[in-house]
Amino acid sequence: MYNPLSKKAEEFIHHEEIMDTLAYAEKNKSNAALIDEILNKARERKGLTHREAAVLLDCDIEEKNQEMYALAEQIKKDFYGNRIVIFAPLYLSNYCINGCTYCPYHRKNKTIARKKLSQKDIEREVIALQDMGHKRLAIESGEDPKNNPIEYILESIDTIYGIKHKNGAIRRVNVNIAATTVENYRKLRDAGIGTYILFQETYHKESYLQLHPTGPKHDYDYHTEAMDRAMAGGIDDVGLGVLFGLDKYRYEFTGLLMHAEHLEAVFGVGPHTISVPRLCPADDIDVADFKNSLDDDIFAKVVACIRIAVPYTGMIVSTRESQKSRERVLHLGISQISGGSRTSVGGYCEPEPAYENSAQFDISDTRTLDEVIRWLMEMDYIPSFCTACYREGRTGDRFMSLCKSGKILNCCHPNALMTLQEYLSDYASEETKRLGEALIAKEVEHIPSAKIKEIAKRNLQAIAEGNQRDFRF
Ligand code: SF4
Ligand code: SF4
- Per residue in 97-109, pLDDT tens? 999 999 999 999 9
Distance, CA 273 to ligand 1 centroid (Å)? Answer: 20
Distance, CA 141 to ligand 1 centroid (Å)? Answer: 8
The mean pLDDT value of the chain amounts to 95
**Which residues line the pocket of ligand 1, CB cutoff 6 A?**
96, 98, 100, 103, 105-106, 142-143, 178, 217
Residue 393 confidence class, pLDDT cut points 50, 70, 90 = confident
Nearest to 243, CA basis, from 225, 262, 223, 261: 223
Q: 190-216 b/e with 16+ CB inside 10 Å = b?
A: ebebbbbbbebbbbbbebbeebbeebe
pTM above 0.85, yes or no: yes
The predicted pLDDT at position 259 comes to 98
Q: What is the mean pLDDT of residues 12-16?
A: 98
Which of 408, 470, 472 gets mutated to test ligand 2 (max ligand atoms within 8 A of its CB)? 408
Q: Are strands 314-317 and 196-197 parallel, antiparallel or unpaired?
A: unpaired
Whether the CA torsion 359, 361, 365, 369 is positive or negative: it is negative
Give the Cα separation of 122 and 342 in Å (integer): 14
The predicted pLDDT at position 406 comes to 64
The predicted pLDDT at position 56 comes to 98
Residue nearest to atom 5 of ligand 2 (CA): 412
Q: 429-460 b/e with 16+ CB inside 10 Å = b?
A: eeebbebbbebbeebbeebeeeeebeebbebb
pLDDT at 281 over 80: no
